[in-house]
Homo-oligomer: A and B are copies of this chain.
């Protein structure tokens, strides 16, 4: 993905798509959140996030690393140790994400209520 050669559509090639692309990833936001308090190891993140598989975490972390949001540091030790941490860029993304979580805190109940009202009729 990346080239939206559609043409004259107002959102097609605006930078907002980039944020959407990053965030649309099922586990990306949760993973970033898991790193927001400091560096974490692969296994730590597995436990911390809960419900994510090794494969998905690895995949998510690789993508985030490629996006420059996360660093990966492998220590040449036995047994191997790998630590992931937010980059400066990744840290800047946490602000909007926290806005989002705050929104969820304040309005989550309303959404759930709407869902129930919709399924009740």
Q: Which residues of A contact B (CB under 8 A)?
A: 1-2, 4, 6-12, 14-20, 22-26, 29-30, 33-34, 37, 47-51, 65-69, 89, 92-93, 95-96, 98-108, 110-115, 117-119
Contact = CB atoms under 8 A, between A and B. Distances in A.
Number of copies: 2
Given A1-B98, A24-B25, A96-B96, 11 more contacts: A4-B37, A7-B50, A9-B50, A10-B48, A10-B49, A16-B104, A16-B105, A20-B29, A23-B29, A24-B26, A68-B117
B103 A92 contact: yes
A79 B65 CA distance: 51
B30 A20 contact: yes
Nearest to A2: B33
